[in-house]
Amino acid sequence: MSMKNRLISPSLLSADFANLKSDIEMLNTSEADWIHLDVMDGVFVPNISFGFPVIEAVHKYAKKPLDVHLMIVEPQKFIKELKAAGTYMMNVHYETCTHLHRTIQQIKAEGMKAGVTLNPHTPVALLEDIVCDVDMVLLMSVNPGFAGQEFIENTYQKVVQLKELIARKNSNALIQVDGGVNYDTAKKLFDCGADILVSGNFIFNSENPKEVICRLKNV
């Protein structure tokens, strides 16, 4: 698995759910690195998306690693189910995990990569004691729960702060950003030190999604 910089993880939340297989096959032949799946419970975020049956169905056809972002309360309850569904990266919210270190260890024990997500208002400094244990940190650049929101400008500064923290702690964690990603924000985010960008509407609502993915990787 290549962990080089400039990875793109298209978000299936913006795909055509009535033609999900064809959208997955499009991503398989694109330059996308991962496939991002947002699981929402209507409790932690004010929306509901999809659960394990859909993840399993995606895994059946996907040739890219599944990057699963859990916007749910008590994500630690579903570690074994997510592994069984074919998850590569299991990503939990800092705000929902009382025992974050234990949850990260349990995810890794199942053989998955472990990520932690910060909401826009959550400071990077709170990761001081966990950043060496995670494989990835996802910074939300919009408020989680709905696609198509406007990018929060403070995210650039958070990427820089996180990059500094990762370097100071000798962590290998990758930096992922999700929300409002387009050519302009993608370039700035990569320049600030982001490794992986999640993009949904900007890719799937375009006339040529594969070309958009290619251009995002090379902004």
Looking at the annotation, which residues are catalytic? 38, 178
CA distance 122 to 136: 16
Largest Cα separation within the chain, whole Å, is 46
Give the CA distances from residue 4 to residues 1, 195, 209, in Å, rounded to whole numbers and listed in that order: 9, 8, 22
Whether 136 contacts 104, CB under 8 Å: no
CA distance 215 to 9: 13
CA distance 190 to 175: 10
Whether 83 contacts 49, CB under 8 Å: no
Tell which residue, 43, 162, 46, has the closest CA to residue 96.
43
